Structure 1
């Protein structure tokens, strides 16, 4: 099963909850576990909040794709870009502090998802979040995954790779 959608929204803090709630609703209806949904909701909120805070004006885009047991979310901005290693080093240099008001987002996203990477491109940066989904038993998505891996078929899924079913003939 493959589901995907995209949004283009003005870079405004009021649009971050729109992205989060749409992701939550989609994953809930597909039958993803609450833990996986919570992780994705927080990670996508952080990614979108970073765009709003750091990328400047214009629009930002969010692309969500669910393929088998994987969710891929891309957050595209029109900002000048940044070096994630440099950003992390700056936070580490400040040291741990309960008073720290910024800089936790990258580390938090790394904990919440299976893979996090940044793709610089002309006119901005793409943040890619990949999360392996835990599915509720009997859910729509669990049934689709089971059907794709039924005897007589061979199916693989992975980050960024949808179900690839091979005909055994």
Structure 2
């Protein structure tokens, strides 16, 4: 009896340990992990100073699951302008993480941190908590705090030349975009999103997207064409960047369907793009792969943002009301 009890207890302990283990995508670079760690530290201190004991005990680990916060996301959110520190609700932890992210980036850019925090539309109590963390730990936070800096390959003038030449050579189908322009191409309703970390994820994404598009009324021909392009795009994230994230987006304003694939790989050198876009079957270890030419041919437009911190591909197709997703003239 005692033996069975002890055996059962050990099993429960193992299950509890497993449930507490944090799972991270393998593709997260080291400098991103360092940033997430410091953000979690700041958030835990802020929550503690605000008297949020429950949140303070969990928020450090939530920093890793939140991933990277883009600047415009924080601006849109308003940095916890409506946050109530009286209620320890799940969304409050995310609000504190947004604020902590903002503080770290202010330190990194060497802005007037006191002025930046004072300008936030949050309560004085929250501002004081942020400034207390900054005052006590600013030297430690400033050391190697730098958020991964994105750098495009080649100088800006060279990038513009490649952009214009490739755009013209592909009959305005392939467009290199900067970070600001990328947001406009990603706009729309997110119908589905998923991480791509291992080979089985490819089939899971295909099956889920197939079900979504079938429910929307797309023809079998359009379905097969789009799923082929989707498979090529997500497969390349595993082959050349060790994984990433994909989204299916519908832009109702322009009646366009979009496949968005992001990764945190080393990026694509400008010199390879002309061959990758214009030569069928061209592929190198660091290229977009042989399927890139197919993606370009079958989509309405392909947009690429690439830096040394990762790349984002946006494949644009006509929506259902325009007759389907397949580019008949490609």
Q: Of residues 44, 48, 55 in structure 1, which corresponds to 2:241?
A: 55
Corresponding residue number in structure 2 for 1:13: 199
In structure 2, runs of 5+ residues without a counterpart are: 1-187, 283-287, 324-330
In structure 1, runs of 5+ residues without a counterpart are: 96-101, 138-169
Greater strand share, structure number: 1
Q: Of residues 312, 319, 322 in structure 2, which corresponds to 1:126?
A: 312
Corresponding residue number in structure 2 for 1:104: 290
Deviations 1:73-110 (A, max 9, x none): 11001111114761552794988xxxxxx943011111
**TM score, norm. by length of structure 1:** 0.63
1:75 aligns with 2:261: yes
Residue pair 2:247, 2:261 contacting (<8 A) in 1 also: yes
Corresponding residue number in structure 2 for 1:26: 212
Give the alignment of 1:133-148 within 5 angstroms: 133-134=319-320
Residue pair 1:33, 1:134 contacting (<8 A) in 2 also: no
**Aligned alpha-carbon RMSD (Å):** 3.2
Residue pair 1:31, 1:135 contacting (<8 A) in 2 also: no
Q: 1:40 to 1:7 in 2, by over 3 A?
A: same
Structure of larger gyration radius: 2
Q: CA deviation at 1:120?
A: 1.7
Q: 1:48 to 1:119 in 2, by over 3 A?
A: same
Q: 62-71 or 21-30: which moved more?
A: 62-71
Q: How far apart in 2 are the matches of 1:93 and 1:63?
A: 26
Q: How far apart in 2 are the matches of 1:43 and 1:93?
A: 15
SS of the counterpart of 2:245? strand
Q: CA deviation at 1:16?
A: 0.9
Q: Of residues 51, 63, 66 in structure 1, which corresponds to 2:250?
A: 66
Q: 59-68 or 108-117: which moved more?
A: 59-68
How many pairs align?
129
**TM score, norm. by length of structure 2:** 0.34
Residue pair 1:55, 1:78 contacting (<8 A) in 2 also: yes
Q: 1:77 to 1:67 in 2, by over 3 A?
A: same
Q: 1:4 to 1:92 in 2, by over 3 A?
A: closer
Greater helix share, structure number: 2
